[in-house]
């Protein structure tokens, strides 16, 4: 008889790992993420938590004059008409910019999709994306000239369309819409490319099946394309809402300069983030500005959560 298995089989003692062996792997892991974690904590969460802290203080750059005031900063804010005005302006800005940007982006993406992969398609895609990579401050200055009531391009276009010319950035009613136009121009490329990427993931056969099924343009879009890019739409809406709520640079550059202090005329372009900037760095009320930032943060968080709730009913994830 062959002895394949030895007649005496010993049970092996489980090897006890030494302390350093047990800790080696996690230590290496944490060691590797530490550099970026450190930057994240010091420059990201640190200031954010500090902001939370000082919003409950009457805080001065000179520490010895700071004192805890509880919710007093918020009470002050709620009694300031300009604060409410800034929230209203921000709301108007978001409500106008986000839907227009989203719809324009998907329309452009549908157009560009036809030529995707072709040379002209790539050129068009680049042209659409180009504004987004330009620096906001630099192009804002160009747009100040475009919006010039006397010799700007904007009024030339209106004139060609036989429409009355506008005062644009100098008008209480048109200053914020002017900023909106610039914002849409600047951000459209990014969202278009996002939609293009979304459209590219739709299986070709599904669209062909719709064709054979007898669906055409609008029906195919509404019942097949649109639901299938709904995750992208949701992402675009959230991203656009957050960035427009935080809009600062173009307002500062477009409405400042020749028109005096930014946010004018008559506070018509004073959004929340502009007011935060002015309160903190012009009037040096850091604790008030912090309280405002906190409110803006809560508003953005709230809006995003609401959007998420709505989206859960409509967004289709494959």
Partner 1 sequence: MSIITVQNLHKNFGGTHVLDDINFQVAEGEFLTIVGPSGCGKSTLLRILAGLERQTEGHVTINGRIVDHEPPYLRNVGMVFQNYALYPHMTVFDNLAFGMMARRVPRPEIRKRVVEVANLLGIEQFLAEKPKILSGGQRQRVAMGRALVRDPVIFLMDEPLSNLDALLRERMRMELRHLHEKLHIPTIYVTHDQTEAMTLADRIAVMKDGKVLQVGTPEQVYHEPQTEFVAKFLGSPPMNIVPVDIAHNRILPVNEPGYVTTLPDRPDLSKISRVSSVSLGFRPEAVKFVAPSHDDLKIPMLVDAIETLGARYHVHGHWGRTPLTVVMNEYRPLKRGQSLVCAIPWHQLHWFNHETESRLPKLATEPFTNLVGSPL
The footprint of partner 1 (CB under 8 A) covers 203, 205-206, 208-216, 219, 223-224, 227-228, 230, 316, 318
Between 9 and 212, name the residue whose CB sits nearer to partner 1: 212
For residue 154, what are the CA distances in angstroms to 93, 97, 189, 246?
A: 20, 19, 21, 26
Q: What is the closest distance, in whole angstroms, from the C-beta atom of residue 106 to partner 1 in the complex?
A: 17
Measured distance CA(69)–CA(63) in Å, rounded: 14
CB of 110 to partner 1, least distance (A): 18
Query: Shortest Cβ distance from residue 112 to partner 1 (Å)?
Result: 22
Q: Compute the least distance from the CB of residue 205 to partner 1, in Å.
A: 4
Residue 272, Cβ density class (10 Å: 0-12 exposed, 13-18 middle, ≥19 buried): buried
Shortest gap between Cβ of 9 and partner 1 (angstroms)? 40
Paired with 68 in beta bridges are 57
Residue 194, CA distances (Å) to 240, 248, 258 in order: 12, 23, 36
Closer to partner 1 at the Cβ: 299 or 315?
315
- Between 203 and 302, name the residue whose CB sits nearer to partner 1: 203
Burial of 313 (0-12, 13-18, 19+ CB in 10 A): exposed
Of the two residues 175 and 232, which places its CB atom closer to partner 1 in the complex? 232
Read off the tokens for 198.
């979304």
- Closest CB to partner 1 among 87 and 224? 224
Nearer to partner 1 among residue 121 and residue 231 (C-beta): 231
Query: What's the min distance (Å) between Cβ of 195 and partner 1?
Result: 17
Q: Where are the alpha helices (DSSP H) in 1-118?
A: 19-40, 46-54, 72-78, 81-114
184 sits in which H/E element: helix 175-200
Whether the Cβ atoms of residue 108 and residue 96 lie closer than 8 Å to each other: no
Q: Quote the CA–CA distance of 299 and 245 in Å, as a whole number.
A: 9
Q: Closest approach of Cβ 234 to partner 1, in Å?
A: 14
Of residues 76 and 202, the one with the C-beta less far from partner 1: 202
């Amino acid at each position: 008889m062959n002895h394949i298995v030895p007649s005496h089989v010993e049970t092996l003692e489980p090897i006890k790992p030494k302390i350093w062996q047990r800790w080696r792997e996690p230590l290496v892991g944490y060691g590797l993420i530490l550099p970026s974690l450190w930057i994240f904590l010091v420059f990201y969460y640190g200031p954010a938590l500090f902001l939370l802290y000082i919003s409950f203080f009457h805080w001065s750059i000179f520490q010895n004059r700071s004192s805890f005031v509880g919710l007093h900063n918020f009470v002050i804010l709620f009694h300031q008409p300009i604060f409410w005005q800034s929230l209203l302006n921000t709301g108007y800005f978001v409500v106008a910019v986000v839907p227009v940007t989203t719809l324009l982006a998907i329309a452009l993406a549908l157009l560009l999709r036809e030529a995707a992969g072709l040379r002209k398609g790539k050129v068009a895609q680049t042209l659409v994306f180009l504004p987004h990579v330009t620096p906001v401050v630099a192009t804002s200055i160009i747009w100040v000239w475009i919006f010039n009531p006397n010799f700007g391009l904007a009024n030339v276009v209106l004139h060609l369309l036989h429409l009355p010319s506008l005062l644009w950035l100098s008008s209480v009613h048109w200053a914020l819409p002017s900023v909106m136009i610039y914002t849409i121009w600047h951000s459209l490329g990014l969202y278009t490319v996002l939609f293009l990427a979304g459209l590219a993931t739709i299986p070709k056969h599904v669209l062909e099946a719709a064709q054979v099924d007898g669906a055409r343009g609008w029906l195919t879009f509404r019942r097949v394309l649109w639901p299938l890019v709904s995750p992208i739409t949701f992402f675009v809406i959230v991203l656009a809402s957050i960035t427009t709520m935080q809009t600062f640079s173009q307002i500062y550059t477009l409405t400042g300069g020749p028109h005096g202090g930014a946010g004018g005329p008559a506070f018509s372009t004073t959004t929340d983030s502009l007011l935060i900037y002015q309160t903190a760095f012009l009037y040096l009320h850091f604790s008030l500005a912090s309280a405002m930032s906190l409110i803006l943060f809560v508003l953005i968080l709230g809006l995003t959560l609401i959007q998420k709730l709505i989206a859960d009913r409509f967004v289709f994830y494959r």
